[in-house]
Amino acid sequence: MTSASTRAEGLRERKKRETLLRIAETGLKLFVKNGYEGTTLDEIAAAAGISRRTFFYYFKSKEAILLAYLDGGFAKAIRPILLAQPTDQTPLRAARSSIIQLMSGHDTQEAIIVANLLGSTEALRARMPGAFVEMEQAVYNCLRELWPNPAQEASHRIVAMASIGAMRIAKEAWRKDGGKRPLSKYLTESFDAVEKMI
């Protein structure tokens, strides 16, 4: 039986998540419209219908919005997709299918603009590797749950690193090409190259 306090906590968490997403989406729209440097924290807060203080509760800086986009909630989003994969395939194949499925939702012109913004400042470029490490960890954790064999842990780590590497290469090629082809095509080609090597 669910208690009133548990329901209240669930409602609070949902509202927090909705507010965070609203701020992030508002910030991204303003970055696309006005440029990263041309957008202020106050403008983001006003457009999102919150105070400056509330903004800082959710994000510490403008950079944090772009980094949240870079992650894209990857760890939370990849988990249900990857854990739903059948285990009668290789871990690499499971990671490949899951990442292609997830990244298909990022195939937009806005995503290309944001990707360009992410590479536009030294501070953002310096923080990007940390976000990729977190993505690798998310994939690795899921693979360990799907195939909980201690003897496979090293290979799971390699698959996670290779998978995120394939995703990075694909997204960079897609960005440079201005999204001329669907992102899924670049991802497929990138994972094909990885599978030939492993």
- Domains of the chain, first to last: 4-59 (1.10.10.60), 67-197 (1.10.357.10)
In this predicted structure, what is the pLDDT of residue 12? Answer: 84
CB-CB contact of 115 with 171 (8 Å): yes
Q: What is the pLDDT along the chain (198 residues), one digit of tens a residue?
A: 455 555 555 788 888 888 888 898 899 889 888 888 899 999 999 999 999 999 999 999 888 888 776 665 788 889 999 999 999 999 999 999 999 999 887 778 777 887 788 777 777 778 788 888 999 999 999 999 999 999 999 999 999 999 999 999 999 999 889 889 999 999 999 999 999 987
| Sequence-separated (6 or more) residues with CB below 8 Å from residue 189 | 170
Q: What is the pLDDT of residue 1?
A: 47
In this structure, what token pair is assigned to residue 114?
């944001």
The C-alpha torsion from 129 through 132 and 133 to 136, rounded to 10°, is -160
Tokens of 53: 């203080």
Of the candidates 64, 74, 84, the one whose C-alpha atom is nearest the C-alpha of residue 133 is: 74
What does pTM read for this prediction? 0.76
User: Using N-to-C axis directions, what is the helix angle for 153-176 and 122-146, rounded to 10°?
Assistant: 140
